C-alpha cells in the first residue's frame, strides 16, 4: 500500500483531541490525524504507538514513508520545529496526518460511480 505523510498544523492539545475524537469513530477512514508533542523522529514513532483504533494498515510501510519524508524534507521538519517552539498555545502539539492513498482512490471512485 502507498501512504503519504505530512504536517497539518500546530495547535493546542485540547483542540486537537476534540477534533480527533469524532474522526477516530469513523470505520472507513483513509486519513489518520495524530498528535506529536515532541517533534523529533523518535517523538513521531512514540506518537504512532499511542494511536487508538489504528486502521489495519501496513504500519512498517507507514514508518518507512515517514522516515523518507524526514530525510528528504528536512527544511519543513526544521520550520515546524521552530514554529512549535514559538507557539503561543498552552500545550502546543504538531498535528500530522497519514493518508492511505489506495483507500482514498477507492473511496473517490465509489463516490464518482454512485
**Mean pLDDT of all residues belonging to the chain:** 88
Q: pLDDT by residue (tens digit) across 7-17?
A: 999 999 888 88
Considering the entire predicted model, what is its pTM?
0.83
CB contact at 8 A, 94 and 40 = no
Q: pLDDT by residue (tens digit) across 43-85?
A: 999 999 988 778 889 999 999 999 999 999 999 999 999 999 9
Local structure of residue 71 (DSSP, 8 states): H
Which backbone phi and psi does 36 adopt, to 5 degrees?
A: -125, 95
Residues with Cβ within 8 Å of residue 40, at least 6 apart in sequence: none
Amino acid at each position: 500500500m502507498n501512504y503519504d505523510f505530512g504536517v497539518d498544523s500546530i495547535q493546542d492539545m485540547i483542540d486537537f483531541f476534540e477534533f480527533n475524537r469524532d474522526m477516530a469513530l469513523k470505520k472507513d477512514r483513509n486519513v489518520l490525524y495524530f498528535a506529536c508533542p515532541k517533534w523529533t523522529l523518535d517523538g513521531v514513532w512514540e506518537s504512532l504507538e499511542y494511536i487508538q483504533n489504528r486502521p489495519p494498515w501496513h504500519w512498517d510501510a507507514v514508518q518507512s514513508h515517514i522516515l523518507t519524508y524526514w530525510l528528504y524534507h528536512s527544511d519543513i521538519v526544521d520550520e515546524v520545529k521552530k514554529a512549535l517552539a514559538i507557539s503561543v498555545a498552552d500545550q502546543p502539539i504538531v498535528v500530522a496526518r497519514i493518508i492511505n492513498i489506495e483507500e482514498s482512490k477507492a473511496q473517490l471512485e465509489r463516490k464518482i460511480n454512485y
